[in-house]
Amino acid sequence: MTNSRSFSCCICRLFPRTSTSEDSPQKTTSLAAYALSSRQLKQLLLSIFAAVPPPPSLNNDILVEILSRLPAKSLLRLQCVCKSWRVLISDSHFVMKHLIHAAATCSINNSLTLFVLSTRLYSIVSVGLDNDHVHVANRELDLPVKIPDILITRIVGSCNGLICLEVNCTNIVIWNPCTGHSKLLLKPSFLFSGFLFFGFGYDSTTDDYKVIRGSRTAISKETVVELFSLRTNSWRRRSRSNKDDGYVCLNGKGCFFNGALYWVELQWAGGPRPIGSRILSFDLAEEKFQETVSLPYLGTEENYVFAGIGVSRNSLFVYSDPMGSDLRIWVLKEYRVRESWAEPIEIYLDQILPKEVDESFLKPLCILESGEVLLDYNRNILVLYNPKGKTFRSIAIGTQSDVAIYMETLISPATSRGSDM
């Protein structure tokens, strides 16, 4: 313990934080907050080992603890320090340890990283927030897989630093934008028509990343699902008829949480708007649909229909169809406990949107540690809304067609473990 404190003290003295506002409290002591070059870190470690030599058996353990707390980009550079560091950083156990620290850092920092898709352009957007300003850094990327005549691309999902993209409906790519590694999946055997739902997530029971895509037929009311396993590198097809625990009618992207993909399933009666909804999940381990989470009870309020679901700060949230009035967001504080839905966050649309509310698209993406809500407005502008002050501020990042919350890691899309970088 004493040696670990000595390391932390040395780091704090030698490398002060580079992005601290005087008005903002420091919310983390993670080494990710320090901007260290390869040369700086090597000099730091050599000086520490010379000044406070730990027992020989602890050298590697302490080194792992230090390196696993650094940003993924810094670790990619540090592979050039020596062969032993390259082997260590590429080790699957180290990669998982780094993933755990990265996830913990993301949950407590008042900042976020986004993967932004705009037609055929891709970029990583880092957003730093303080009380008065929004700091945005944009890094454009090239799709590493050569696909000719790209017409349409959409984000299937984002999980543990991996982005899953669908290009031209039949090409599916799993990509780690941080390491640059990617994998073009085998083409699905079934071409869907009609309503299409899809998702991407991690099955911890088998250490496997899975892609699902599905559709339903209006005549037979059969739901067809194709599932790709990164571990087996193959697709499997599953069918679900209307006799199997109800009729599944999903649309769009599912959000990944706690080993399952979640959608809000809308119920229609032939009119322009849905008449009801429920939460439906697809368990990636058992590979079946379940109804495990109940929606908030609204009593006699019939004007609200739940339109979508998301994940923020390790909690599920659902949001309503504004229906020309306002947007409500409910956060589930305790998983699978219906009574733990918090009081809704209310966003009055006339405060942030023009008069043409009915023609507007507004979707909450996440809720930050500060309580601010990140909103996607008309797939063109990102807006941060402060429910306490009822104020908003926009994030100028240019035109986007799809956005995903992203985290930089070392996970390999080829093996789902460490990258041989």
3-state secondary structure the chain: CHHHHHHHHHHHHHCCCCCCCCCCCCCCCCHHHCCCCHHHHHHHHHHHHHHCCCCHHHHHHHHHHHHCCCCHHHHHHHCCCCHHHHHHHHCHHHHHHHHHHHHHHHHHCCEEEEEEEECCEEEEEEEEECCCCEEEEEEEECCCCCCCCCCCEEEEEEECCEEEEEECCCEEEEECCCCCCEEECCCCCCCCCCCEEEEEEEECCCCEEEEEEEEECCCCCCEEEEEEECCCCEEEEEEECCCCCCCCCCCEECEEECCEEEEEEEECCCCCCCCEEEEEEEECCCCEEECCCCCCCCCCCCCCCEEEEEEECCEEEEEECCCCCEEEEEEECCCCCHHHECCCEEEEHHHCCCCCHHHCCEEEEEECCCCCEEEEECCCEEEEEECCCCEEEEECCCCCCEEEEECCCCECCCCCCECCC
pLDDT band at 99 (very low <50, low <70, confident <90, very high): very high
Average pLDDT value over all residues in the chain = 76
The pLDDT of residue 58 is 45
pLDDT at 255: 93
Q: What are the structural domain ranges in the chain?
A: 59-109, 185-397
Judged against a pLDDT cut of 60, whether residue 244 lies above it is answered with no
**Those residues with Cβ within 8 angstroms of residue 7's Cβ, 6 or more apart along the chain or in another chain:** 48, 52, 62, 66
Is residue 391 within 8 Å of residue 374, measured between CB atoms? no
Say if residue 10's pLDDT is above 60: no
Q: Note the pLDDT of residue 295.
A: 83
Q: Which of 275, 278, 269 is nearest to 297 (CA)?
A: 278
Give dist(CA 54, CA 194) in Å, integer: 64
pLDDT of 339 reads: 80
Q: Of 150-154, 245-249, 408-412, where does the model show the most confidence?
A: 408-412
Checking if the pLDDT of 80 tops 90, the result is no
Best-predicted range by mean pLDDT among 55-59, 134-138, 308-312, 390-394?
Answer: 308-312
Strand partners, 159: 162
pLDDT bin (cut points 50, 70, 90) of residue 313 is confident
Using the Cα atoms of residue 161, residue 328, residue 289 and residue 247 in order, give the sign of their dihedral. negative
First-to-final CA distance of the chain: 32
What pLDDT does residue 125 have? 79
For domain 185-397, which architecture applies? 6 Propeller (2.120)
Q: Which region holds residue 125: left if phi is over 0, alpha if psi is between -120 and 50, else beta?
A: beta
Asked if residues 117 and 400 have their Cβ atoms less than 8 Å apart, the reply is yes
Tokens of 306: 């739940």
Q: Select, from the ranges 73-82, 136-145, 191-200, the one with the highest average predicted confidence (pLDDT).
A: 73-82
Nearest residue to 159 via CA among 261, 251, 72:
261
pLDDT above 50 (res 20)? no
pLDDT-derived band of residue 47, with 50, 70 and 90 as boundaries? low
The answer to whether the beta carbons of residues 67 and 26 sit under 8 Å apart is no
Q: Does residue 14 register a pLDDT over 50?
A: no
pLDDT of 272: 63
Structure-model confidence comparison of residues 43 and 87, the more confident one: 87
Report the distance separating Cα 109 and Cα 112, nearest Å: 8
Q: How many CB atoms lie within 10 A of CB 254?
A: 24
Judged against a pLDDT cut of 60, whether residue 98 lies above it is answered with yes
| 5-19, 244-258, 315-329: least confidently modelled range | 5-19
The mean-pLDDT minimum among 82-86, 137-141, 151-155, 217-221 falls in: 217-221
In a 13 Å sphere around the CA of 196, the CA atoms on its Cβ side amount to 15
Q: How many CB atoms lie within 10 A of CB 222?
A: 17
Confidence grade of residue 201 (pLDDT, cut at 50, 70, 90): very high
Q: Which tokens go with 207?
A: 């250490």
Query: What is the rounded CA–CA span in Å between residue 163 and residue 176?
Result: 6
d(C-alpha 421, C-alpha 412), whole Å: 9
Pair 94, 383: CB distance under 8 Å:
no
**pLDDT number for residue 117:** 79
Amino acid at 164: C
CA gap 149, 147 in Å, rounded: 7
Which of 218-222, 247-251, 266-270, 284-288 shows the highest mean pLDDT? 284-288
Q: Which two tokens stand for residue 36?
A: 């260290």
Q: Are strands 345-348 and 326-331 parallel, antiparallel or unpaired?
A: antiparallel
Could you report the per-residue pLDDT of 256-286, keeping only the tens digit for each? 999 999 998 877 666 666 667 788 899 999 9
Output 124 or 253, whichever has higher pLDDT: 253
Residue 400: band (very low, low, confident or very high) from pLDDT cuts 50, 70, 90: low
Query: pLDDT above 70 covers what percent of the chain?
Result: 67
Per-residue pLDDT reduced to its tens digit, 55-68: 444 467 888 898 99
What CA–CA distance (Å, rounded) separates 172 from 161?
Answer: 16
